[in-house]
Amino acid sequence: MRKDKRLQRDLDNAEDYRSWRAAALELDELEGKADWRAEDESRDYDFRLIRARLNELRQLREEQRVSELVYALHEGLHGNLGGIANPKIYTYCRVGTKLLIEEYLHEVAICLNYLCDNEFPDFTLDDKIRFFKRTGSSFGRSGLMLSGGATLGMFHLGVIKALWSEDVLPRVLSGSSAGSIIAGAVGTRTDEELTEMFEPGGLYLDAFRLFDLRSAMRNRSLMDQGQLWHCLQQNMGDYTFEEAFERTRRIVGITVSPIEPHQHGRLLNYLTAPNVLINRASLASCAIPGVFPPVMLQAKSYDGDIIGYMPSKRWQDGTLRSDLPMLRIARLHNVNHYIVSQTNPHVVPFMKDDRARNSTGLVSLVSELARSSYGVYSKHIVETARHRMDPEGWWRVAEKLLALTNQRFSGDINIFPSQHPKKLMRMLSSPTEEDMRHFIRSGERRTWPQIERIRNSSVISRTFEACLQRMKDRGETRRDKAPGERVVRLRASSSRA
C-alpha cells in the first residue's frame, strides 16, 4: 500500500513524460496489468490474425524474400487490422496495450525501413517510390485538430509540447478560433524555433483588451481587434500559407466562417489559399460575433505586396461553421485518423474520456444518455426555431446555431481539459505567464496517458513519410545524406519475452 501511494504521488507530480511513464509502468506492474499486456489473447481484437501477420512479415524480411514482403505489405496494411485500433484495448493499462500489437507495429516499421534503405536488384528506386506512395496513400495518416475556446485554447500548447517532445506531432494540423493561433504559431516555426515557443515568453500573449463603452459602441465590438492583430503579427510574422509550408514542411489549415447567409465556411491552407497571410486568416477565425468585428482576408500579390483577398467578403469565427474540418482535411491531405484537442466550453462538459473503462452503473447510464441526448435535442430545437422565424430577422441567428449543433466535435483520440468556473470567467482575458505555465502543464498531463496510443496509431504513417523523404533526397542527391535524416521507429514500452 505504501509503495502504491508513493507511485501515485510520483505519477501526479511528474515533471515530464519520462518520469510519468516510469511511475505508470511500475503501477501497472504492481497491479498485475503487465501480465495482461504480455498475454496475446483478448476478445477486443483478433490476436490470432495479428500473431500470424507478425510471423509472416518477420520471416519474409529475415529470409530476404523482398518481392513477397512487398506484396504482403501492399495487400495487408490497414490502420485497424484485426481491431488493433479498438479504443477498449487502451483502457486496461496506464501505458500502452498488448505487447503483441506493439511488436507487430514495430515489425511493420522495420520492414518499411528495410525496403527503403537497402538496394535490391528486382526492387529499384522507382519501384520503391511507387510502392511507398501507393501503399502510404492507401494507409492514410493522422492529423491534429485544435478547437476554439478563447483563452482556454492555450491548453493546446501543452498538447503540442507533449506530442513534439515524443516525436509524434502530426505534420497536418488544423485550427479554429483560438486553435488557429496555436496552429499558426506552430506552422510558421522551424523545428529549431519550435522548442523556444514552449519557454516562458515564447509567445506574445497580450491579445485581449476591452474597449470602453464609447469605443465599443463605435466599433460594434467588445474587444480591441487591433491588439489581437498585433499579437498575431508578433507570433506568426507575415508568412503566407505556402511560405510557411516551404519553411517548415508542416501543413496548417485555418477555418473561417462567412457572414453572408449563402456562403460556406472555408478551410484555408497552402493548397486552397496559398497566398493568404496566416496571421490574417487567424484574425478572421478569432472574430467571435459581438466580441470582434468580421475581417477581410489579406494575401501577397505576385510582386509581394499585401493586398485584399476577396475584398468584398468578410469572415468570422471558424468555430461557427467548422470547428473540426475533418471531411475537408481528409480530401486534401489523405487524413483518416484524427487527434482532437478540444477546449470549447459548450463541448467539453459533454466529452467522454475514451480511456475510461465502461461502467454499468446507474450514474454512468444517465451520463451517457445526457451526452447523446444533448446533440439530438439541441439540433431539433434549433431546426424547429429556424423554420418558424422571419427570414429577415432572427433566422440568420438560428442558421448559425444550427451549423454549430450539426458539427462533430470529437475525433478518434480526444484530449480535453477539466473545466472550472474560474477558468470560464477569464476566457477573454490575456493569460499571464503563470496562466500559460498552468495551461501548458495541464495540456501535457492530459496528453501523456494518450502518448503510446498516438505513437501506435501513427508509427506506420510516420514511417511512410520518413521513407518517402529519404528516397526523394537520394533521388535528387544520391551521394549526399539528407540533413536531419532520421528513421521513425516504434519505441517498445518493455521487452517481450
191 is catalytic: no
Which residue among 174, 177, 410, 493 is the active-site one?
177
Question: What amino acid occupies position 340?
Answer: V
Q: Can you give the chain as a three-state secondary structure string? A: CHHHHHHHHHHHCCCCHHHHHHHHHHHHHHCCHHHHHHCCCCCCCCHHHHHHHHHHHHHHHHCCCHHHHHHHHHHHCCCCHHHCCCHHHHCCCCCCCCHHHHHHHHHHHHHHHHHHHCCECCECHHHHHHHHHHHHHHHCEEEEEECCCHHHHHHHHHHHHHHHHCCCCCCEEEECCHHHHHHHHHHCCCHHHHHHHCCCCCCCCCCCCECCHHHHHHHCCCECHHHHHHHHHHHHCCCEHHHHHHHHCCEEEEEEEECCCCCCCEEECCCCCCCEEHHHHHHHHCCCCCCCCCECEEEECCCCCEEEECCCCCEECCHHHHCCCHHHHHHHHCEEEEEEECCCCCCHHHCCCCCCCCCCCHHHHHHHHHHHHHHHHHHHHHHHHHHHCCCCCCHHHHHHHHHHHCCCCCCCEEECCCCCHHHHHCCCCCCCHHHHHHHHHHHHHHHHHHHHHHHHHHHHHHHHHHHHHHHHHHHHCCCCCCCCCCCCCCCCCCCCC
177 is catalytic: yes
Please tell me the distance from the alpha carbon of residue 7 to that of residue 94, in angstroms, as a whole number. 13
Which residue among 317, 323, 341, 461 is the active-site one?
317
Active centre residues (catalytic): 177, 317
